[in-house]
Structure 1
Amino acid sequence: MAPFKALELEYPIIDSNFQTFCASHGILSVEDFLIHDLYELAAFAKQQPTSEKLEQGITQILSIIDEQHQPWVNGMELLDDTLHRKHVVPTGCEGVDLLLGGGLHEGQLTELVGPSSSGKTQVCLLAASYLASKHMGTVVYLDTGNSFSTQRIAEFVGRFSNHMFSQAGHRNFQKVMNNILCHSVFDIFTMFNVLHQLEFNMKSQLQKGGQVRLLIVDSISSLITPILGNIGSQGRALMTSAGYLLKKLAHEHNIVVLVTNHTVGGERGIPKPALGQIWKTVAHVRLLLSADHGNDTRSISVLKHPSMASGKVARFRV
């Protein structure tokens, strides 16, 4: 779901007059519309000189929201979709790929959870490097904390190539970097804008560098935590909308979505994933990362998986 400005071309009724009216009530996007009192909004619309057009605009937005709901599907349709459309994309990390039966699954949202310095960003950079270096498609990387490192990408690409420091190796690295589109995103509203533009580009086949195969958000919690603290129930609604949009992109465009989340203190001091119970239901796959003190070994365990028992553990080095 998108900012109203992005919908104007396809839906002329959502014109500048309608956008100005909504903006005067703090409504700038479909997400804002979802958490507003629609009866109150309709009452204000009736008081305006262009009340009929405004009411038509409100009806149009409701129709757009209704179209987003997925139709019912039966078990055979889901099985056919899994067998013929959903492939596995390797991360380039042997331990992670063995644990997950080959890698990350298309059509699913996978969440990496872990404390600071547990290796979440390193796994993201490794997965981006591997996919791009194997020319398997385009990676879209949303960097929320200035943690994207071209130097680290170069190190990872060097592992996959025997001629990293030759002229051919330099050309290969350039190709890899052309297959990774990095966006700096520091608030959730910017993320919505980037994701809506990405969705439009994928529908219109306008993206540069080929088909998008992997979307990374590192980290989703740094975007959501501030809005949960400031605007209460509206923040939770925006969090739900963010999860819905990421899963929608994964399913409809058959891509891998990988997000990172930090941990917070739980019962008896045991760390638990941040963002609470509502976000807990969003990810298809939840993986917990932890670091061994004194070396570069990491442990990864399954917290949640649609086809795998929780508790499975693997160890690896990044």
Structure 2
Amino acid sequence: MAPLKALELAYPIFDSNFQTFCASHGILSVEDFLIHDVYELAAFADQQPTSEKLKQGITQIFSIIDAQHQPWLNGLELLDDALQKKHVFSTGCEGIDLLLGGGLRAGQLTELVGPSSSGKTQVCLLAASYLVSKNMGTVVYLDTGNSFSSQRIAQFVGRISNCMFDQAGQRIFQKVMNNILCYSVFDIFSMFNVLHRLEINLQSQKGEQVRLLIIDSISSLITPIIGNSGSQGRALMASAGYLLKKLAQEHNLVVLVTNHTVGGERGIPKPALGQTWKSVPHVRLLLSGDHGNNIRSISVLKHPSMASGKVASFTI
């Protein structure tokens, strides 16, 4: 769903006065309404000189949401959707694939959590390289910390394709790079711009071959807005989670994001972004490793179809 300003042309009731009122309550897009108490919002509207028009706008927003809401699925339809439509894509790493029963599942938001140098970016680069090398589609890669490495992609492509970096190898590498669409994104608003353009392209079939969306890292975009803007920051975080899950589900995408760790109780590291974000990913995986070698450990913190605590080792 689009930002409110983008809807003004089709719905004149969403004028600048309505947008200003919504922004004052941390509402910048249609998605933001889903996490607000509509009765509380209406009460705030009652205090404004244009209360009736504001409440008409609020009612219109929920009409738009209802119109776009898909019908409920029964159990058999959900099972068919999971088995027939939501493909599993290999990460290119045997250890991770075995742990996850084949790899990353389309329609799900998967989060890689880990401290610095635990291998999060390497897993992202490998997954992108493998998917494109095997001609399974294209990748949209949002790089938030200048960590995207074409040299590392070249190494992975050479390993996957079992080819030397000769003329033929260069052609394969160039094809892979042409199908990994990398965007440098340094704030959450730039991320929303990229994601909304992607959604439009997917809806118009221009991006129908996109199979994997990577954000490395989501926490570096969200952390700055949580501490400084209160409820608006949390609303933006919830909107980001909603949009990522919506893209995954409606367009059969694998969505892979990374998250760093922070100090927890008794000094035990825990995933950043807190309890509000904790419920957002379908799958949450913890990466760890010894800085002295290339062996990494990955464990399941959250998964819809397997118990937490499963662990596997791998090298990358």
Tell me the TM-score normalized by structure 1.
0.89
Question: 1:287 and 1:23, CA in 2 relative to 1: closer, same or farther beyond 3 A?
Answer: same
Which amino acid counterpart does residue 312 of structure 2 have in structure 1?
A
Matched, 1:316 2:314: yes
> Which blocks of at least 5 consecutive residues in structure 1 are unaligned?
none
Q: Please state how far the C-alpha of 1:231 moved relative to its aligned partner.
A: 1.6
Aligned to 1:90: 90
Question: 1:290 and 1:14, CA in 2 relative to 1: closer, same or farther beyond 3 A?
Answer: farther
Q: Please state how far the C-alpha of 1:70 moved relative to its aligned partner.
A: 4.8
Q: Please state how far the C-alpha of 1:71 moved relative to its aligned partner.
A: 3.6
Aligned to 2:277: 279
Contact 1:141-1:215 within 8 A present in 2 as well? yes
Q: Please state how far the C-alpha of 1:68 moved relative to its aligned partner.
A: 4.9
Which amino acid counterpart does residue 220 of structure 2 have in structure 1?
S
Aligned to 2:41: 37
RMSD: 2.2
Q: Please state how far the C-alpha of 1:28 moved relative to its aligned partner.
A: 4.5
Q: Please state how far the C-alpha of 1:262 moved relative to its aligned partner.
A: 0.7
Matched, 1:300 2:298: yes
Q: CA–CA distance in 1 between the matches of 2:99 and 2:203?
A: 33
| Partner SS for 2:230 | helix
Which amino acid counterpart does residue 83 of structure 1 have in structure 2?
L
Q: Please state how far the C-alpha of 1:124 moved relative to its aligned partner.
A: 0.4
Render the CA deviation track for 1:111-151: whole Å, top value 9, x for unaligned.
10000110101100110011111110010111111111111
Q: Please state how far the C-alpha of 1:161 moved relative to its aligned partner.
A: 2.2
Contact 1:157-1:164 within 8 A present in 2 as well? no
Q: CA–CA distance in 2 between the matches of 1:62 and 1:164?
A: 57
Q: Please state how far the C-alpha of 1:170 moved relative to its aligned partner.
A: 1.2
Q: CA–CA distance in 2 between the matches of 1:191 and 1:45?
A: 35
Aligned to 1:233: 231
> Which blocks of at least 5 consecutive residues in structure 2 are unaligned?
none
Aligned to 2:254: 256
Q: CA–CA distance in 1 between the matches of 2:33 and 2:280?
A: 21
Which amino acid counterpart does residue 301 of structure 2 have in structure 1?
L
Question: 1:166 and 1:273, CA in 2 relative to 1: closer, same or farther beyond 3 A?
Answer: same
Render the CA deviation track for 1:72-93: whole Å, top value 9, x for unaligned.
3221111111111011100101
Aligned to 1:46: 50
Selected match of 1:20 from 4, 11, 16 = 16
Render the CA deviation track for 1:213-244: whole Å, top value 9, x for unaligned.
00111111111111110122222222111111
Q: CA–CA distance in 1 between the matches of 2:168 and 2:258?
A: 34
Contact 2:4-2:19 within 8 A present in 1 as well? no
Tell me the TM-score normalized by structure 2.
0.89
Contact 1:19-1:28 within 8 A present in 2 as well? no
Q: Between 138-147 and 163-172, report the one with greater CA deviation.
A: 163-172
Q: Between 38-47 and 123-132, report the one with greater CA deviation.
A: 38-47
Aligned to 2:105: 105
Aligned to 2:149: 149
Q: CA–CA distance in 1 between the matches of 2:168 and 2:152?
A: 19
Contact 2:216-2:258 within 8 A present in 1 as well? yes
Render the CA deviation track for 1:287-308: whole Å, top value 9, x for unaligned.
0000113111110011111111
Q: CA–CA distance in 2 between the matches of 1:32 and 1:94?
A: 39
Q: CA–CA distance in 1 between the matches of 2:85 and 2:190?
A: 30
Q: CA–CA distance in 2 between the matches of 1:246 and 1:104?
A: 15
Which amino acid counterpart does residue 261 of structure 1 have in structure 2?
N
Matched, 1:188 2:192: no
Aligned to 1:124: 124
Q: CA–CA distance in 2 between the matches of 1:70 and 1:111?
A: 25
Q: CA–CA distance in 1 between the matches of 2:131 and 2:273?
A: 29
Selected match of 2:214 from 204, 213, 216 = 216
Which amino acid counterpart does residue 232 of structure 1 have in structure 2?
G
Contact 2:145-2:217 within 8 A present in 1 as well? yes
Q: CA–CA distance in 1 between the matches of 2:4 and 2:276?
A: 26
Q: CA–CA distance in 2 between the matches of 1:84 and 1:312?
A: 26
Q: CA–CA distance in 1 between the matches of 2:127 and 2:197?
A: 23
Which amino acid counterpart does residue 16 of structure 2 have in structure 1?
T
Contact 2:31-2:242 within 8 A present in 1 as well? no
Question: 1:271 and 1:174, CA in 2 relative to 1: closer, same or farther beyond 3 A?
Answer: same
Q: CA–CA distance in 2 between the matches of 1:101 and 1:265?
A: 31
Question: 1:28 and 1:306, CA in 2 relative to 1: closer, same or farther beyond 3 A?
Answer: closer
Q: CA–CA distance in 2 between the matches of 1:138 and 1:288?
A: 26
Percent of aligned pairs with the same amino acid: 76
Render the CA deviation track for 1:172-216: whole Å, top value 9, x for unaligned.
111101111111111112212211111111010123xx5110011
